[in-house]
Structure 1
């Protein structure tokens, strides 16, 4: 297939600190005057602070094929936004090169590409001109852009008076409707409401169905999994992995939850809880009651907690909170609370075989009372396990959703 974006050995260097310069702005002069008042010399202001270089990106090479939807994820400071700015040709790389095969439209920080003194209408035409479109082409798209953005009542108002949400709505409408072959989108959808986010995702799917390319940064992993065909994981300015979105999500969240494991035991003086009950430990079990962390989708999975009841007279309800990546899969507990006498108890929940989807899961553990409502302990994300599928049994692509139960189906030919 034809490459829409080629990134070859790209690096981007920035500098921490103050650049030494002979030029003085008025603000700098005032700052010097303030420094003298507190006893700092001019030399301290402009000579003692060293400039420290750092690389936001290091030797990044990436090819994105035409018509692909590619997600880029990583922790804050990993270089995601810097890479998008280079792809959008807003920032030049320090090393390496970028090749774009097609016209690119970018939606980065809120307000990027807008002139604050111009009206919304004027900014639509300005952005279209920057993309190389004629005035007639922009005029044909104008009503569609305004209708999608929902800011028609303010379209002749200077955009400096727009809220951040209005900025984002109009910016997305411009980027998506002015027919770029490549659409580059940063995490600005977090500004919009849920309805507008759905509109944006539907529009991006429409864009890709026409064979155009989308590069998308988001911290909402479920959106990346459901929307993207490929995913890139950045860490400290370098590419750590490129794979299917769910596989990358598993790598990302397993590194985020390093403290979680297949079992845990608490020392006597560090057990979570109160004067009614305390958590002693917990385990993830297979059908043979052995501790395990990796399971096939066709196996049942046991979650066991051990707790000590210290006081009688309370109805107790053990419960497990199961999370897949950044979303709650389910919370489960016995159907009713039970009053337990003092002593040590084990409570086990069994997740049936062929119930969970493939992926990485973390578990939180709690013990509660309903009458009165009390939380005796709630220990977050302390257990983890992974569900995979035997090679050859999968469907060859990521199936969305947290649960994927095997359910009886019937298909029959009708007389009609």
Structure 2
């Protein structure tokens, strides 16, 4: 049974652009109101133009009861606008939304809280806003406080809470007051790893009991772990709607910043100098599970080709793999050997389960006699490594630049009784 039906919804805004010397100050607004009152025209140097902006455009989808639906896309893709429409905070410009069931939304830190009221008072206030009776709130009160971990500060005004405490309490209220549909925006990113784990587990439990979840997050690992379906938005349009792994694969293929190959046909156009010139530098991934993006499992080969313009020289290649911030993750070099004039090739293998998820660049250096750099191509290639986890219940950022799978044994020893 469909609990959410979205039919041809669009959301339209008008953005005013003021061109001239003035800014949007109180004096400017008073002057504008007076001009309008007396029917005077705006000065020529204060022309205002109007721009149409469609935050959403012709969006259609259905969500079934018990579905766990992820929503992914760039910032500004229309995700938050969609959630506000589904939460009845704003109305669509065109189209219709049909919702069957009680909705609990957690869209911003402290949504529905009064800063001067205590945590205890805000639990009752927020629960009432969600349509709960006082008895329902009392029945879940202890579970809410325990989940949020704010018992020590329960009678403190929430204006003194940290952003993490705000989110924990807001999520705890939304999750425990038995909504049929739960809508959660990126606010969970404010919480620590333990809270993220608890929250995802709670949403999974809610879904198992027949409740429907809508979850917006840039943490694709969390989306994959929680959601069975995913919506991919771009520039206000729904580009894909389907099984989570397939949709995320499409999303990653479109947003990747990869530059996996650079090549030049002739030495005359190639980068380098009178001694050496680059012909080709290429990263060749061995994609896993028929994917089209690199993740932490993916083995890769880096292939180099360059023209040696010298009659004879001892040469070797030096490869630097760097983070986008410029830190060198590792440097590896080939053996120095004598080469004559002509094309020289080299290849280096980076095994799977070595690099952590993140963005990286590859630089290559051609070295003579092991000590003299002849040419250094910085940031020759750029690529992203996406996360992949199996059998792990924590979805925070894995620390470090490398993520090897070393042999790591544990044994249980039975202590002998002391005589």
Q: TM-score normalised to the size of structure 2?
A: 0.68
Cα gap change, 1:265 to 1:178, in 2 (>3 Å): farther
Q: Using the alignment, how far apart are the partners of 1:77 and 1:378 within structure 2?
A: 33
Cα gap change, 1:42 to 1:265, in 2 (>3 Å): same
- Superposed, which structure 2 residues align to 1:159-174 within 5 Å? 159-174=158-173
Deviations, residues 52-93 of structure 1 (Å, cap 9, x unaligned): 332111111110111111111111111010001111111111
Unaligned runs of 5+ in 2: 19-24, 33-39, 324-328, 393-402, 406-419
- Superposed, which structure 2 residues align to 1:263-302 within 5 Å? 264-265=263-264, 280-283=279-282, 302=301
Deviation at 1:8, TM superposition (A): 1.0
SS at match of 2:62: strand
Is 1:365 matched with 2:366?
A: no
Q: Which residue of 1 aligns with 2:81?
A: 82
Alpha carbons 2:272, 2:278 under 8 Å: kept? yes
Q: Which residue of 1 aligns with 2:146?
A: 147
Alpha carbons 1:315, 1:340 under 8 Å: kept? yes
Q: Which residue of 1 aligns with 2:226?
A: 227
Is 1:48 matched with 2:47?
A: yes
Deviation at 1:399, TM superposition (A): 7.4
Q: Which residue of 2 aligns with 1:28?
A: 26
Deviations, residues 311-334 of structure 1 (Å, cap 9, x unaligned): x99996536799xxxxxxxx9986
Q: Which residue of 2 aligns with 1:254?
A: 253
Q: Using the alignment, how far apart are the partners of 1:63 and 1:302 within structure 2?
A: 43
Q: Using the alignment, how far apart are the partners of 2:159 and 2:302 within structure 1?
A: 54
SS at match of 1:17: strand
Deviation at 1:160, TM superposition (A): 2.2
Alpha carbons 1:71, 1:215 under 8 Å: kept? yes
Q: Using the alignment, how far apart are the partners of 1:253 and 1:380 within structure 2?
A: 22
Alpha carbons 1:261, 1:384 under 8 Å: kept? no
Deviation at 1:4, TM superposition (A): 1.8
Q: Which residue of 2 aligns with 1:290?
A: none
Alpha carbons 1:320, 1:332 under 8 Å: kept? yes
SS at match of 2:74: coil
Cα gap change, 1:341 to 1:52, in 2 (>3 Å): same
Deviation at 1:184, TM superposition (A): 0.5
Q: Which residue of 2 aligns with 1:379?
A: 379
Alpha carbons 1:278, 1:377 under 8 Å: kept? no
Q: Which residue of 2 aligns with 1:135?
A: 134
Alpha carbons 1:79, 1:236 under 8 Å: kept? yes
Q: Using the alignment, how far apart are the partners of 1:45 and 1:196 within structure 2?
A: 56
Q: Which stretch of structure 1 is more off in the superposition, 153-162 or 8-17?
A: 153-162
Alpha carbons 2:72, 2:217 under 8 Å: kept? yes
Deviations, residues 186-243 of structure 1 (Å, cap 9, x unaligned): 1112211222211211111111111111111111222222221111111111111112
Alpha carbons 1:362, 1:381 under 8 Å: kept? no
- Computed over aligned residues only, the root mean square deviation of the Cα atoms, in angstroms, reads 4.8
Is 1:318 matched with 2:319?
A: yes
Q: Using the alignment, how far apart are the partners of 1:233 and 1:163 within structure 2?
A: 32
Deviation at 1:347, TM superposition (A): 2.9
Deviation at 1:267, TM superposition (A): 8.2
Aligned residues: 356
Alpha carbons 2:249, 2:292 under 8 Å: kept? no
Q: Using the alignment, how far apart are the partners of 1:11 and 1:203 within structure 2?
A: 32
Deviations, residues 348-369 of structure 1 (Å, cap 9, x unaligned): 24689xx79xxxx998434489
Cα gap change, 1:187 to 1:332, in 2 (>3 Å): same
Q: Using the alignment, how far apart are the partners of 2:98 and 2:45 within structure 1?
A: 39
Alpha carbons 2:9, 2:60 under 8 Å: kept? yes
Q: Which residue of 1 aligns with 2:7?
A: 8
Q: Which residue of 2 aligns with 1:390?
A: none
Q: Using the alignment, how far apart are the partners of 1:279 and 1:178 within structure 2?
A: 64
Q: Which residue of 2 aligns with 1:96?
A: 95
Deviation at 1:248, TM superposition (A): 1.8
Q: Using the alignment, how far apart are the partners of 2:119 and 2:382 within structure 1?
A: 50
SS at match of 2:204: helix
Cα gap change, 1:32 to 1:136, in 2 (>3 Å): same
Cα gap change, 1:309 to 1:148, in 2 (>3 Å): farther
